[in-house]
Homo-oligomer: A and B are copies of this chain.
Amino acid sequence: MASLAPRLRQRRKAARPQELLEAALTLFVDKGLAATRTDDVARLAGVSKGTLYLYYASKDELFKAVVHTYLVQVIAEGTDLTEQFDGNSAALLRLLVHTWWARVGSAKASGLVPIIMAESAHFPELAQFYVDHVIEPTHRLLGRAVQRGIDRGEFRPVDTRMAVLALIAPVHFLVMHQHSLAPCAGSLTDMAPETYLDMQLDLLLNGLTAPPRP
């Protein structure tokens, strides 16, 4: 009996950082970085304010940890389906975009993106971090898929970088709006995000697709 208590404690202790990050994510996304009080984060995590500082040296560090956990790690986990996929490349791109949307874009964590955008001016370290761990890997992943399409003669030999950006832009646009203007603007949001993504992919793939060989 007595031997179980410490183990339970340890388990709770080990869970602390996760609970704090979860609470911080919720509040940062909900109220913004400046408007979120460390008090509230601690309370929502069910610990005292002092405990928060036991795990994270400052509010900024906490924010960085949240970004790391909920954006970077998720991206890192993002399996590159390109190698083992054996359908056509248009289908691969559709799959990649929808998978990303399902796992990241539609998750609460995507609410961090507008914050990062707004704060990166005075948070260059964070911006670099985001570029290195989110932007670059995503570009590489999508880049390989586009290149595959070109290699296989499915796509025209376009500038790969541009095609990647053309894939990313609507996704980025969607994420930003979901967390900012969606509640105000009807025209965009009266459509399911998945539909929007599909239609944007339609347009783009139509531009990418190589004409049938005569």
**Consensus secondary structure, chain A interface:** helix
Q: Does A128 contact B (CB under 8 A)?
A: yes
Q: A200-B166, A203-B163, A203-B204 are in contact. Are A118 and B119 (CB under 8 A)?
A: yes
Q: Does A108 contact B (CB under 8 A)?
A: no
* 8 A Cβ contacts from A132-152 to B: 135-136, 139
Tell me, in angstroms, the Cα distance from A34 to B63 when the chains sit together. 16
B165 close to A196 (CB less than 8 A): yes
Beta-carbon nearest neighbor of A143 in chain B: B187
A184 close to B131 (CB less than 8 A): yes
Q: Does A81 contact B (CB under 8 A)?
A: no
Tell me, in angstroms, the Cα distance from A62 to B30 when the chains sit together. 23
Interface size on A, residues (CB 8 A): 56
Q: Does A8 contact B (CB under 8 A)?
A: no
Which one of B122, B161, B188 lies within 8 Å of A32 (CB-CB)?
B122
Tell me, in angstroms, the Cα distance from A176 to B180 when the chains sit together. 14
Beta-carbon nearest neighbor of A115 in chain B: B118
* B-side contacts of A168, CB under 8 Å: 173
Which one of B118, B130, B169 lies within 8 Å of A117 (CB-CB)?
B118
A39 to chain B, nearest CB (A): 12
The 9 closest A-B pairs by CB, nearest first: A207-B207, A118-B118, A34-B34, A206-B207, A169-B169, A169-B173, A120-B180, A117-B180, A114-B117
Q: A124-B183, A203-B207 are in contact. List 17 more A-B contacts (CB 8 A).
A: A31-B122, A32-B119, A33-B34, A115-B118, A117-B117, A117-B118, A117-B180, A118-B118, A127-B180, A127-B183, A131-B181, A131-B185, A162-B202, A163-B203, A173-B173, A204-B207, A206-B207
> Which A residues contact B (CB, under 8 angstroms)?
29-35, 111, 114-122, 124, 127-128, 130-131, 135-136, 139, 158-159, 161-163, 165-166, 168-170, 172-173, 176, 179-181, 183-185, 187-188, 196, 199-200, 202-208
